[in-house]
Chain A
Amino acid sequence: QVQLVESGGGVVQPGRSLRLSCAASGFSFTSYAMHWVRQAPGEGLDWVAVISRDESYVHYGDSVEGRFTISRDISKTTLYLEMNSLRADDTAVYYCVREGGAGCRFDNWGQGTLVTVSS
């Protein structure tokens, strides 16, 4: 049974940093690309970043490029999102998502972790 469990969310001041983690289990972690998708309160889904199976390809949404870093630790089967220079508009629930097929087939989602950027 696929499980994705996010952690690391919380309240942080503007300009500070935060690292999110996503513990993956129940599947071969090295066989899937992984993404982060966020959702601001009352808003729609916003794609954040992707990392390929072998970490050779990473890409970010325009709003987080240069501030966020996605990475994965194969030995710990964990996905990370390092978030720097946080802004109020980064406030959202952040979901760890498995890509089950081409074209962004997001077949498994974590429960999400809330990040609130506020002074």
Chain B
Amino acid sequence: QSVLTQPPSVSAAPGQRVTISCSGSNSNIGKFHVSWYQQLPGTAPKLLIYDNNERPSGIPDRFSGSKSGTSATLGITGLQTGDEADYYCGTWDDSLSAGVFGGGTKLTVL
């Protein structure tokens, strides 16, 4: 059971928009910045969004993030087949003194 809660899967057609939610508590998302990671099949995770809504260099602006209270959301517009991957949210948890992740969301581009 993951500390952060994500939907197991989402799907949408190419060119469409999708959002992935990440729900936590006051000891994690409510207190710290959220990061999002993309894991393509057979590869290591890659930082997609940091500090809730910032994109590292090289990440297209089709990817966006937001945070409100104890929840965060990843948005992806103009879906491409190459976006099919597992997406994870993560942050620090003050009560656990541990890094925490969501269980991951598998994105399927139909």
Contacts and interface: CB of A to CB of B under 8 A. Distances in A.
Contacts of A101: 33, 50-51
Interface residues of B, number: 27
A105 B45 contact: no
B85 to A, nearest CB: 13
A106 B32 contact: no
A106 B91 CA distance: 9
Contacts of A103: 32-35, 51, 91-92
Given A101-B51, A103-B91, A109 B45 contact: yes
Nearest to B104: A44
Interface in A91-119: 95, 100-112
B25 to A, nearest CB: 14
Interface in A38-62: 44-47, 50, 59, 61-62
A46 B101 contact: yes
A35 interface: yes
A61 B93 CA distance: 11
A107 B50 contact: yes
Contacts of B44: 95, 109-112
Contacts of B34: 103
Contacts of B33: 101-103, 105
B44 to A, nearest CB: 4
B97 A59 contact: yes
B87 to A, nearest CB: 11
B68 interface: no
B98 A106 contact: no
Nearest to B32: A103
A53 B105 CA distance: 32
B100 interface: yes
Interface of A: 35, 37, 44-47, 50, 59, 61-62, 95, 100-112
10 contacts: A44-B86, A100-B47, A101-B33, A101-B50, A103-B35, A103-B51, A104-B90, A104-B91, A105-B35, A105-B51
Given A102-B33, A103-B92, 18 more contacts: A35-B99, A44-B86, A44-B88, A45-B37, A45-B88, A45-B104, A61-B98, A62-B98, A101-B50, A103-B35, A103-B91, A104-B35, A105-B47, A106-B37, A106-B47, A107-B56, A108-B47, A109-B44
